[in-house]
Structure 1
Amino acid sequence: MRNLRIASAARVDIQRTLEWSERQFGRQARLRYQALIEAALHDVQKDPERPGSLQQEALGQPDVRIWHLKYSRRTASKEYGTVSGPAHFFLYRVDNDYVMVGRLLHERMAIPSFPDEAR
């Protein structure tokens, strides 16, 4: 398993997503989504090229991949329930020794360039 690094932009994305989730849907929903995010990070770290991950060559970013949180629902903790319709994905890249998570984005957002700090 590779080491996992999370760019500051991704940390901000995660925090904002969890705060929004709590404001809109309550504490339990935040905890469900947090468990899903944690599972997705672990899944990407364990096998960054796993089935379901998409390479972003079409966007001119051949070393960048996408992992949608919906694919981590089975591995997420069920302590707070299951997220029925996750709407976010991680933008990450794989290096020899680590996986660098650059962003957590909503599926309706355009995919930006990978953050420079995470290259």
Structure 2
Amino acid sequence: MRSLHITAAARADLRAIQTHTEQKFGPAARARYAVLLAQALRDLSENPLRPGSLKRPEIGPDLLTYHISFSKNRSRSTYGAVRTPRHLILYMLEGDSILAILRVLHDGMDIRRHVPTTPRRR
């Protein structure tokens, strides 16, 4: 399993997603979505090139995306399951042991507008 490094921008994305989810859908939905996001991150750390991962050279060199819907069947919990996840994870591999999570974005967003100008974690 790779070491997971989550950038400040991605952490802010995760907080914003949770806040929005709770405000719009309630605390149970927030809990369901949190479980799904955690499962998606676990899935990527176990296999960053898992089915559902897409290389995105049109966005930037070495960048990949993973739609969290590919993890929904493994994220069922006591809170239930998310029916229609709408976020994707923008990430890159740094060497053989680090998975850098750059952003967590709504799938309706123009990803290119939200790519960090220096995507490598420093």
**What is the TM-score normalised by the length of structure 1?**
0.93
Task: State yes or no: 1:33 paired with 2:33.
Answer: yes
Q: Deviations over 1:67-118 (max 9, x none)?
A: 1010010111422000000000000001221100000000010113245264
CA RMSD of aligned residues (A): 1.3
Contact 2:91 2:101 in 1 (8 A): yes
Identify unmatched segments of 5+ residues in structure 2.
none
**What percent identity do the matched residue pairs reach?**
36
Matches within 5 A, 1:69-108: 69-95=68-94, 96-108=96-108
CA distance in 2, matches of 1:107, 1:94: 21
Kept after mapping to 2: 8 A contact 1:32/1:81 = yes
State the TM-score, normalizing by the size of structure 2.
0.91
**What code does the residue aligned with 2:48 have?**
P
List runs of 5+ in structure 1 lacking aligned partners: none
Q: Could you tell me whether the CA contact under 8 Å between 2:10 and 2:103 is conserved in 1?
A: yes
Q: What is the number of equivalent residue pairs in this alignment?
A: 118
4+ residue runs over 6 A deviation = none
Does structure 1 retain, via aligned residues, the 8 Å contact 2:103–2:115?
no
In structure 2, the residue matched to 1:116 is: 118
The letter for the 2-side match of 1:76 is S
